[in-house]
Amino acid sequence: MNLSSQCKRSYSLLLTAALLLTALFPAVNFGGGQAYAAGTALAESPAAVPDAATVQLATYSDQDFKLRVLHTNDTHGHLEYVAKRISAIKSERTGNSILLDAGDVFSGTLYFTKFEGLADLEFMNYIGYDAMTFGNHEFDKGLPALKTFMDGASFPFVSANIDFTTKNSELAGLYHNETGLIGDPGTPAKNGNIYPTVIKDVYDEKVGIIGLTTEETVGLSSPGDTITFENYKTSAEKAVSMLQAKGINKIIALSHLGYNIDQQLAVEVPAIDIIVGGHTHTKLDVPVEVPHGSTGDTTLIVQTGEYGQNLGELDVSFNTGGQLTSFSGRLLDIAKYAEDTEAKSMLAPYDAQLEAVRQTVVGNTYTDLYTHRMIDGKSVRVVRQEETPIGNLIADSINSKSTELVSKLLSPSELSSIKGFVAIQNGGGIRAPINQGDITLGEVLTTLPFNNSLVALKVTGKEIISSLENGVSGLEADQGRFPQVSGMRYTFDSAKQPEIVDPASNAVKQEGKRIVSVEIKQPDGSYAPVDPEGYYILSTNSFMAGGGDFYRALAGAKADGRYYELYVPDYEVFNEYLGKIGQVNIGLEGRITNLKGAAASPAPGSGGGTVTAPTPTPSASPAPTPSASGVPAQVTTLTPEDLTQRLAALPAGSSELVIPITASAGGAEVVLPGSALIQQAAATPELVLTFDTGLASYSLPLSVLNGTAITTQLGTGDFTVTVAIKPADAATTAGVNQAAAKQGSLTLAAPVIQFSVTAKAGNRSVPVNRFGSKYVERTIQAGRSLDNKTATGVVYDPDTGALSFVPSVFTTNADGTAKVTIKRASNSYYTVVESSKTFGDLTGHWAKSSIDLLASKLIANGNDTGAFSPSKAVTRAEFAALITRALGLEAVDGTADFTDVSPSKWYAGAIRTASAAGLISGYPNGSFHPDSPITRQEIAAILSKATKHTGTSLPGQMETLGIFKDSSAIAVWSRKSAAEMAAAGIIQGTPDGFFAPGQTATRAEAAVMLEKTLKVLKFIN
């Protein structure tokens, strides 16, 4: 840079430069958090400069100094290309060349996973890099790993905006606050050491180099707290002054700030002649010029893209005053070069070691992480059409990592404006299943083979809905865009009109109408309707963020600068998540529901979780059904003002509002303002409204109200919600009595009450009676004393005419009568029965009391002869039936998910229901082995899933297993579950101190474990 021009800069010239910047800068591939943070609006691309054509900037002389800069950036461990890159460098290097790297050698492939940059370093040393600056990913493994890399380097590092010394970091001894002289025989810059600036002598001309690293490294990587990242502009000015003080007038900035910040740097520090950039993976096919007004000076910006796919080549000329007089630049596609023989032989030993690395076990899954399943006798690729455990797991890994990183990048005020973190993984990106058992790194790479990087976007709720609409519109053609999700749940109807996009123009030819509702998961685990105008962080892979699979809304957010390039490969994100969560124990959680044209209960695959199941299509409201007395219910109507006033009087910290209501002989109905409930649910999703008639009560968690779905199905947001507590009509009561007599002389101990919730608008209504795995409480006053060991709450199913156990707890009122609290995830007819059952073969048996208790509560059954056979092994089918009864799960209709479970078998329904709730899984070949005995560790895993299904997470440290002599024999996939069960006292060891994980459990042991589980969950007294 011409020094006299530099000294004469004025404010007016800076303003001129800024105006020219706005007019001339190309908006090329903005990247990283900086793009969004800067918020700079850049203009249209300038006229393209032909590759390798020379551009004259000032008066040219044959005496001008000619310099060639060869450069790389963001290679990210991609040594699969290195032999060609070495060949390209050898081919293009001349005597006047400098070879530079702008950072992010670390992270991205197995080469880095195994060798932590040392393999890359061997090639960098071999070809002779002159200098490198640090990228954010150089800090991914902390300072010790970076120091090991630096200790082996045959070149210095330049870094002007990182303070390594104040806090005495591990790299402090390598830092020199001076200018290093590359190749100087007297006082050379030490290899592997750090300098804010270095000088390279090229044919007796001095070229200064400074290094800069993004300040967002603190949030994007793991640099620790002993180094500090300082302001890039201030640091650059200081470094340039150091060089100018030594008479240097040709200055190169090795920048890992990102292209958009490089553009600002060029204007802010115009003494920099060339910016060799990185971080944003921007592919600049030709150098970008930043002219500096009337001075005639120019700064050039270059960047090669990513992964070493291109070698940057920049030829420049400087006059004696240090002013750029001409340049030509291009990117060299290394794929066009032959492999360098020496480099290829150097790479071979590393490749051989990676074959062994691929066999490394990185996790274990109890669940079969399938991509296909059998439907009507055919193997169907369901990962592209429905929720799958593997889709849930991968989406969760994306959401977890993005939340961790983006939360560090956003300011507190920005973070407070974000209404949720969600993730989408396209089903087409999941290329292979992972079978039950150990997970190898090779399997991970086969499942996620594309090496897409992680991208977070700031999107509106409307853009989320648009993205999902696109995603569910390719089912018929088995397209890969189907959205597997995390942090949200959605309902769609594949029978409705899909979105149709012209693949040539990317224009929408037909609007999609398949998305019914979208809800966002809240910090407390509840769900709230998506706010179309609110902002969310949506994370996905780089393919989708760029508009792949027709995700136009995501591409639009990226084009708008609302995104953060996190540059972590998807397979690394998944691999890290496997290590974080331990044994994989994931199933279907109701994140995705397909109505398939009939909006009733969830389809058999929608699973458990916390999903609010879709409700039927609205119909004309039927006339009220008279109660047994023929008297209509007493109606209480609460206005929005009433509700607001009651909530205002709620004591601080309370999450339950109890509203006494009056009931007639026909029961009670409470009519509530729908919009007020939905607004309140969004503000305080943990709030529960309890309506108490004195004889019965119903507790409505506001989190179960799916406002979006209700509004969509009623066609309006102006609706009411009616909670009804009514005595059963005469026909239903008669049915209950018949069922009680048929099922073993059960005695009714309380009235039969129908509990229901209905949303209404005009003459249309939508029942809201199924709540996924959210257990809703209702109470019934028995009117007399009851023994909680021989009495139980039950649900009556009018379709089957059967009574079934429901979780129920008995308390005694002041007058000695019993109040029964019933917990279940759906509404129906409920009552209380008494039953005292035992079996003839239990006399003197150690588990008699537990078995009698479960039998009296309609959970445990005997065989055809009336015996229980307590010492007989319990089968997988029998335990599936026991757990579904014990949790009071509503039966799921449909066909079995397993090839060896015949629909005609007694256990088919129980297995189907347990599978849909994510409590059980089969084998990789699609079988379940229903008649095989179940082991103690298998029971531990199922009970762990069962507690989580109910919303209860049991503590369990691995140290707990130390009390068992055979703890090492517990399978990896069951260890966490076994620890939880042992800590809770649900599963105890044998008398001689063994867990006996592989030992078959007996029917008696299963009964005892279930009793303890129910008590821990407070599902029984």
Q: Mind listing the pLDDT tens digit for each residue in 44-73?
A: 232 333 345 677 666 656 789 999 999 999
Long-range CB pairs of 294-297 (<8 Å, 24+ gap) are 294/13, 294/16, 295/2, 295/5, 295/8, 295/9, 295/13, 295/270, 296/2, 296/5, 296/57, 296/58, 296/323, 297/1, 297/2, 297/5, 297/270, 297/323, 297/324
Residues facing residue 421 across a β-bridge: 537
In this structure, the answer to whether residues 82 and 163 fall within a common structural domain is yes
**What torsion, rounded to 10 degrees, do the Cα atoms 158, 161, 164, 165 define?**
110
Q: Could you give the CA distance from residue 603 to residue 613 in angstroms, rounded to a whole number?
A: 9
Domain count, the chain: 4
Contact 166, 248 (CB under 8 A): no
- Between CA 824 and CA 844 the distance in angstroms is 35
Rounding to the nearest 10 degrees, give the CA dihedral for residues 447, 450, 456, 462. -80
Contacts of 707 (CB under 8 A, 6+ apart): 529, 674, 677, 678, 681, 717
What is the rounded CA–CA span in Å between residue 94 and residue 751?
95
Provide the pLDDT confidence category of residue 284 given band limits of 50, 70 and 90: very high
Q: Is 866 left (phi over 0), alpha (psi -120 to 50) or beta?
A: left
Distance in angstroms (rounded) separating the CA atoms of residues 286 and 53: 10
Instruction: Record the tokens describing residue 32, joined without a space.
Output: 């990283």
Residue 19 has pLDDT above 70, yes or no: no
- In percent, the amount of the chain with pLDDT more than 70 equals 90
Is residue 188 a contact partner of residue 199, using CB atoms and an 8 Å limit? no
Domain contains 723: yes
Q: Which of 509, 677, 124, 506 is nearest to 346 (CA)?
A: 124
- The chain-wide mean pLDDT, for the chain, equals 86
Same domain, 289 and 369: no
Query: CB neighbours of 276 closer than 8 A, spacing ≥ 6?
Result: 69, 71, 73, 100, 102, 252, 253, 254, 255, 302, 303, 312
User: Smallest Cα–Cα separation from 87: which of 346, 316, 303, 349?
Assistant: 346
- Domain-located, residue 599: no
Contacts (Cβ under 8 Å, ≥6 apart) of 946: 883, 886, 887, 919, 1013
Q: Which residue has the higher pLDDT, 344 or 7?
A: 344
Is the domain of 163 the same as that of 223?
yes
What is the Cα 41 distance to its own chain's centre? 31
Q: So what's the pLDDT on residue 226?
A: 95
CA atoms within 13 A of residue 481's CA, in its CB half-sphere:
26
Residues 389 and 456 in one domain: yes
Q: What is the pLDDT of residues 941-956, one digit of tens each?
A: 899 999 988 888 888 7
What's the Cα-to-Cα distance from 870 to each of 200, 744, 1009, rounded to whole Å?
85, 21, 13
Pair (739, 830) in one structural domain:
yes
Q: What is d(CA 715, CA 335) in angstroms, rounded to the nearest whole number?
A: 57
Query: Among the listed ranges 26-30, 528-532, 547-551, 715-719, which one has the minimum average pLDDT value?
Result: 26-30
CA distance 106 to 149: 10
* End position of a domain, from candidates 294, 324, 349: 349
CATH label of the domain that carries residue 412: 3.90.780.10
- 107's CB contacts (< 8 A; 6+ apart) are 76, 77, 137, 140, 567, 568, 569, 572
pLDDT the model gives residue 599: 52
Bridge partners for 329 per DSSP: 314
DSSP E strand stretches across 377-452: 378-380, 418-426, 437-440
- Residue 936 within any structural domain of the chain: yes
Q: Which range of residues forms the domain containing residue 998?
A: 847-1017
Residues 859 and 987 grouped into a single domain:
yes
What pLDDT is attached to residue 895?
65
Q: Which of 19-23, 30-34, 548-552 has the highest mean pLDDT?
A: 548-552
Same domain, 521 and 498: yes
Residue 186 and residue 311 in one domain: yes
Domain match, 466 and 394 both:
yes
**Domain-embedded: residue 43:** no
Q: For residue 284, what is the domain's CATH number?
A: 3.60.21.10
Q: What is the reported pLDDT for 875?
A: 92
Tokens of 187: 């006082």
**Within-domain flag for 773:** yes
27 pLDDT band, cuts 50/70/90, is: very low
Total length of the chain: 1021
Instruction: Check whether residue 861 and residue 1008 sit in a common domain.
Output: yes
Q: Are residues 795 and 857 in the same domain?
A: no
End residue of a domain, out of 318, 349, 380: 349
Residue 17: inside a domain? no
Q: Which of 349, 384, 403 is the last residue of a domain?
A: 349
Give yes or no for a contact between 135 and 256, defined as CB atoms under 8 angstroms apart.
Answer: yes
**Which residues fall within 8 angstroms of residue 560, CB to CB, at 6 or more apart?**
none
Same structural domain for residues 459 and 484?
Answer: yes
Residue 92: partners with Cβ closer than 8 Å, 6 or more residues away:
68, 70, 311, 313, 332
HEC profile of 614-643? CCCCCEECCCCCCCCCCCCCEEEECCHHHH
The DSSP bridge partners found for residue 197 are 179, 210
User: Please, what's the b/e burial string for 383-417 (b: 16 or more CB within 10 A of its CB; e: otherwise)?
Assistant: bbbbbbbbbbbbbbbbbbbbbebbeebbeeeeeee
601 has a pLDDT exceeding 60: no
- Threshold 0.85, pTM exceeds: no
pLDDT digits (tens, 9 = 90+) for 1003-1014: 989 999 999 999
Taking only the tens place, the pLDDT of each residue in 960-1008 is: 888 888 888 888 878 888 888 888 889 888 888 888 888 898 998 999 9
In a domain, 613, yes or no: no
Query: What CATH number is given to the structural domain containing 799?
Result: 2.60.220
In this predicted structure, the answer to whether residue 7 has a pLDDT above a threshold of 60 is no
Section 639-652 average pLDDT = 84
Inform me whether the pLDDT recorded for 18 exceeds 80: no
Domain membership of residue 946 (yes or no) is yes
Q: What is the pLDDT of residue 536?
A: 97
